[in-house]
Every structure is written in C-alpha cells, then in structure tokens.
A and B are shown apart, each in its own frame.
Chain A
Amino acid sequence: MIVRARVLHPGRGCGPTTALAPVSFWGGVGADGTVVDVHHPAHGTSLVGRALVMETSKGSSSGSSVLAELITTGRAPSLIVVSEPDSVLVSGCLAAAEISGDRLPVVQVTPADLRRLVVSPALAVDCARVPIGELTAVEEWVPD
C-alpha cells in the first residue's frame, strides 16, 4: 500500500504502527516517550520508534517543547502521520532540527487514508529532501 501525503516536516523513518487518539505531548507524554495521560486510552504505551498515526495532537502548544526534547534525546516516534496540519508538532520538529540536526518526518494524509494506514503493521516515509508543503508518500513497511 502506498498513500500520497503532504510533507509537514522533512525526514526519514520507519517503524511499527501505533494508532493513537489525539494526545497532548505536554502533560500527556512523559520524558521516556510513554503516554502518561491517565485519561488517554493508550495510557502506558511507548511511542518510542513508532510510526505514530493520529488525526492531530491536542492540548497545550507546549507539546512542541516536549516533542523537541523527545527528538533530541532519541525517544521520539520514528515518524508521524496526521490528517490535520499540526503546527504544534511541526514547530517541535523544527526546533529539534535546529539544535540537534535530528529530523523527524511528519506527513499529512486525508482522513480516509489515515483510516487505511492504521491497519498496516508498519510504515515508512522518506521525505528527507522534500520541502514542507510538497508531496511525498507513506508506504507499508516490511521489515527485513
């Protein structure tokens, strides 16, 4: 399966899929990359190295700082697929890229495609050289 996507932040990554209801990274995801929001259905789930699929993040705009910290400490998801143009996640990615050079890919797909991607066991994105706003693709990833 290949799905067309719009680049929100360039990067390259692959990992097992984790479908998530909207989460606030600030207050909702701990420093170890685990969902710590006790009211969230995925409470206790680690997002480290995961292909995160969710409509959008929610809650505090300080989620950008939390995501930046996760990226620079190597505890971030490997890629993020959203169906809304999430500027909180992207500003965290932009800040992390400035201070550490680590680039977490974030792409936007249609709501229908988001529902299709959720059933893929693993996903891959390679848009390291694609500018923000341009088109790329999300592929089902088959580990070697």
Chain B
Amino acid sequence: MAMRVVTGVARVTGATELIDVKCVHIDSCLFHRRSGIDFVGKLVDAGARVRVPTTNVGSVNLRRPERPARSPDMEHVNPLLGYLVGQIAGTGVPVLTGLGGVDGVRGAGADDAGPVGSSRAGAAAVPTEDDLKALGAAAASSGGVALFHIEGVTPECGRLSDVCDPATIPTTVLTTADLVRAQNELTTATPHACLDAICLGTPHASLAQLRRIARRLRDHDRTPRIPIWVNTGRYTADALAADHPADHAALVSAGVRVVTDTCTYLLPRLHFDWRVIMTDSAKWAHYGPGTMGVQVVFASLEQCVQAALEGGP
C-alpha cells in the first residue's frame, strides 16, 4: 500500500528511480475528518512501521492535548438542553418552544451566540423519540422535572397557549453559550485524563440506537481500543439479536458489553478500576461522579464511538 502511493506519485512527477533516504517528514497528517484516520489506521492494522527517523505535522498539541469533545456536537443538544431545563425548572413544569420547527426560542435577552432553536439555518430539527428520552432523563436528573411540554412536539401542546398563558409565565432563552456551559459542567475529567470506558444507553438504548452504534463500528471495521458498555432493555437486546443479526454480530465482535435492565453507574463494585468515563448521556454524566466516584467526559454518541476506536477523546 505504501509503495503503491510512493510509486504513483513518483510516476506523476516523472521520477525514473527511487533513492535511499535517511529521514522522512510525513506531510498532511492534520485531522481532516475520517479518511485521514482510516488511511493511517489501515497502515497500522497492517503492522506498518517507519524504517527511518520520521516527523509529521499534526493539528493537536500532543504534549498538551485539548479535547475536541469539549465542544458540543450540535447534533447532540437534547441531553444538554434537558440538563439546563432541569436546572431552571426544578420541580416545575417547563414549556419549551423552538424545538418543533414552529418558530425560534422566544423571549428577550439572547446573547451574541443566538438562540438555540435557530442555531441551524433558522429551524431546529424536530426531536425524535430518542431525543425526547434523552432530554427528559436529563431534566429529571439535573432538576426534578416530571412533566414537560414542547410546543408543536408533545401532542397536548400544539400551540404554547394550549398549556399556559404565554404572557404571564417566566421565560428563559437558552443559547449556544448555555449549551457550552452545560457541556463544561458535565465534563468533569481533567484535560490529561485517559478514558477507561465508554458508557452509552442511559436511558436504555432503543433498537435504533443499538443499530446506530453497530453501524458506526461496522463502518470502521476495527476493534475498539476502549471498551464500550451499553445499557438496554432485555427485550430490545433480544430483538436486536433476532431481527438484526448483522448488527448484533457487529456489537459482539467489537466486544461491546450489553448490560440489560440496569445502568452501568449502578454497578460500582464491578468497575472499581474505572476512573474516567465518556458518555453520551447527561443523566449518566450527572450521576456517575456521585455513584461511582468517576470523572466524566460528555460527548455525542458518534464522538464516543470515535473515541473508543481511536483510544482517546
């Protein structure tokens, strides 16, 4: 593979022979999304080694790495939103607008970052069942929210006026700056900490989420360097094995530990050696430090699987 690339470029430039070298600088090792990792991963998996002293240029300071997971993945805002809603609403009943594609988040006082509901081209995506599950679990963790309305999403709340008097209820505008704050509050791990495990599926992963994890792992065709744990219901786990054997096989071959009917943060005695955990769940991030004494890195499901494959955040 390496020789094909070298001779290919040599022919393009009209070289007639290759010469011995004493050292090499490998260019273009910046992170440009997946292809760069896949390319190097393929070399590594094939057992490739450098034969002469070699340098490269990267986009990360390896001696003082910053964690990309510090930045919220804007496709993964629902747990963060839920976390913030819980903080604000406490045990009250929050009413959310701007999530159902009806209009933007209302109210005054938005800062420069702009309202959350209009963070993507003026229209937030309508939340899925899994999004609502993550939002509700987070709001019930950081606050005591037992019931919430979302205008244009939950069936009883077609319009804001269906559930309250919009003129009299106190309004808070959440911005991307708030999401970043939530992300930072939920990420308690120190910058140099190494991950011990990835914990997904809190609340229990749906069939769609299990399949999403399986697809991500299959895409890479590489064994995760950090163990992945997933909580799900026993019937969901059974349904995956029975109805989607290829996805089930992908989880098995990647060594994913599927825990049914409980949560990984409830099993502290099994994981006494865990120090730092990455999770896509604001609920897990909220409870894990207390129940297990671990530090947490909060990230999206995609960032979590990526970190598992790459061996770090």
A residues within 8 Å of B by Cβ?
8-9, 26, 31, 61-66, 68-69, 71-73, 85-87, 90-91, 94-96, 98-100, 131-133
Cα(A68)–Cα(B30), bound, Å = 13
- For the complex of A and B, the 3 pairs showing the least CB-CB separation, nearest first, are A132-B11, A65-B32, A69-B35
Pick the contact of A98: B5, B9, B27, B32 (CB < 8 A).
B5
Q: Which residues of B contact A95 (CB under 8 A)?
A: 5, 35, 39
Q: Which residues of B contact A62 (CB under 8 A)?
A: 27-28, 30, 32
User: Apart from A87-B12, A100-B38, what 13 extra A-B contacts exist at CB < 8 Å?
Assistant: A26-B32, A61-B28, A65-B32, A65-B36, A68-B32, A69-B34, A87-B9, A87-B13, A91-B28, A98-B5, A98-B42, A133-B11, A133-B12
Chain B: interface residue count, which band? 20 to 34
State the Cβ distance, A89 to closest chain B Cβ, in Å.
Answer: 9
Q: Mark B118-142, 1 if CB is under 8 A from A, else 0.
A: 0000000000000000000000000
Q: Does B33 interact with chain A (Cβ within 8 Å)?
A: yes
Q: Which residues of A contact B36 (CB under 8 A)?
A: 65, 68-69
Q: Which residues of A contact B27 (CB under 8 A)?
A: 61-62
Q: Does B4 interact with chain A (Cβ within 8 Å)?
A: yes
State the Cβ distance, A27 to closest chain B Cβ, in Å.
Answer: 10
Cβ-Cβ contact count across A and B, 8 Å cutoff: 75
Residue of B nearest to A86 (CB): B12
Q: Does B8 interact with chain A (Cβ within 8 Å)?
A: yes
Q: Does B53 interact with chain A (Cβ within 8 Å)?
A: no
**Do A99 and B38 touch (CB < 8 A)?**
yes
Residue of B nearest to A72 (CB): B35
State the Cβ distance, A35 to closest chain B Cβ, in Å.
Answer: 16
Cα(A69)–Cα(B12), bound, Å = 21
Q: Which residues of A contact B38 (CB under 8 A)?
A: 72, 99-100
**Residue with the greatest number of chain A CB neighbours at <10 A, chosen from B14, B34, B35:** B35
Residue of B nearest to A64 (CB): B28
Q: Which residues of B contact A65 (CB under 8 A)?
A: 28, 30, 32, 35-36
Q: Does B1 interact with chain A (Cβ within 8 Å)?
A: yes
Pick the contact of B4: A63, A64, A68, A94 (CB < 8 A).
A94
Q: Mark B217-238, 1 if CB is under 8 A from A, else 0.
A: 0000000000000000000000
Q: Can you offer 7 A-B residue contacts whose CB atoms are under 8 A?
A: A26-B30, A72-B34, A87-B13, A94-B5, A98-B1, A98-B4, A99-B42
Which residues of B from 3 to 19 have beta carbons under 8 Å from A? 4-5, 8-9, 11-14
Q: Mark B34-65, 1 if CB is under 8 A from A, else 0.
A: 11101100100000000000000000000000
Q: Which residues of A contact B42 (CB under 8 A)?
A: 98-99
Residue of A nearest to B30 (CB): A62
Pick the contact of A90: B1, B8, B33, B35 (CB < 8 A).
B8
**Do B32 and A85 touch (CB < 8 A)?**
no
Q: Which residues of A contact B35 (CB under 8 A)?
A: 65, 68-69, 71-73, 95-96, 99-100
Q: Which residues of B contact A98 (CB under 8 A)?
A: 1, 4-5, 39, 42
Are A90 and B34 CB-contacts (below 8 A) given A62-B27, A68-B39, A85-B14? no
**Residue with the greatest number of chain B CB neighbours at <10 A, chosen from A26, A61, A71, A72:** A72
Are A132 and B12 CB-contacts (below 8 A) given A69-B35, A91-B5? yes
Q: Which residues of B contact A86 (CB under 8 A)?
A: 12
**Do A69 and B4 touch (CB < 8 A)?**
no
